[in-house]
Amino acid sequence: MKAFLFCFAGLVSAAACAGPSDYVYTPNVEYGERELDFKFGSATPPGGDRLQQGSVAFGYGATEYWFTEVYLKYERDGNMGNHLDSVEFENKFQLTETGKYPVDLGFISEIEIPRQNGDTYEFRFGPLLQTEFGKLQLNGNLLFERQYRGNPDFDGGAPHVTEVGYQWQVKYRWLRAFEYGLQGFGEMGKWNSWDSRDLQNHRLGPAVFGKVGVGNHQAISYNAAWLIGASRAAPDNTFRMQVEYEF
């Protein structure tokens, strides 16, 4: 527990380039659960055009410890119309039994395949941690991301680097249909040589959560957050949301 709290505090205070539609991963898996997943996010980077991202996905709890999901990801940059940006495969592994230990542990791995030849492939992975204190739930994730060019000559042979980022979440489970808390996201640059503070991207803000049953073992869950830039390189405001239909 002390080790988890130390790591969690480090992630929050530390001030892979995440998109505005990214969400906070949790380590637990529901065996046999199927879901249709919709995500949306909108942000304006400093000195850039407004970026909107969205995705639709189908996921399945294939085993008691493995959840797999495939996404179609869409993007709108500035005045350009919506276009299919990439396909993403996500696999989450639950490494400890839920509630058996003070900290639940999981692992996430994702690969994003661009629609156009020559664009960037992305691979993301990292540990997922969760603990509870009464009605309070804490999550902290450390994520590593590496990008690969589909055309090695596109970027003049520039070396591939592994970048590091984080996610954290504090949630008060007030009612099943309505919970509230805070979320935070950040990217620090190369895993072994962080960017200067001005170049790091840190965002945090209030969030809401909930799950509503619709009968016959079906439910709709949601979460949304309004994130405020906490560093010079971050967007001033980011809105993100996720809605899932579970059956």
Domain CATH for 86? 2.40.160.40
- Cβ atoms of 185 and 160 closer than 8 Å: no
Residue 232 lies in a domain: yes
Residue 30 lies in a domain: no
**What is the sign of the dihedral through the CA atoms of 175, 177, 182 and 184?**
positive
Residue 238 lies in a domain: yes
Domain total for the chain? Answer: 1
- Cβ atoms of 20 and 240 closer than 8 Å: yes
Residue 31 lies in a domain: no
Residue 237 lies in a domain: yes
Residues 6+ apart with CB under 8 A from 151: 117, 118
CA distance 234 to 126: 22
> Containing H/E element for 125?
strand 120-133
Residue 75 lies in a domain: yes
Range of the domain at 173: 2-25+36-246
Q: Tens place of pLDDT for every residue, the chain, 247 residues?
A: 444 434 443 433 333 457 899 999 999 999 999 999 999 999 988 877 889 999 999 999 999 999 999 999 999 876 666 788 899 999 999 999 999 999 999 999 999 999 887 678 999 999 999 999 999 999 999 999 998 876 555 555 556 789 999 999 999 999 999 999 999 999 999 999 999 988 999 999 999 999 999 988 899 999 999 999 999 999 999 999 999 999 9
Residue 99 lies in a domain: yes
Residue 200 lies in a domain: yes
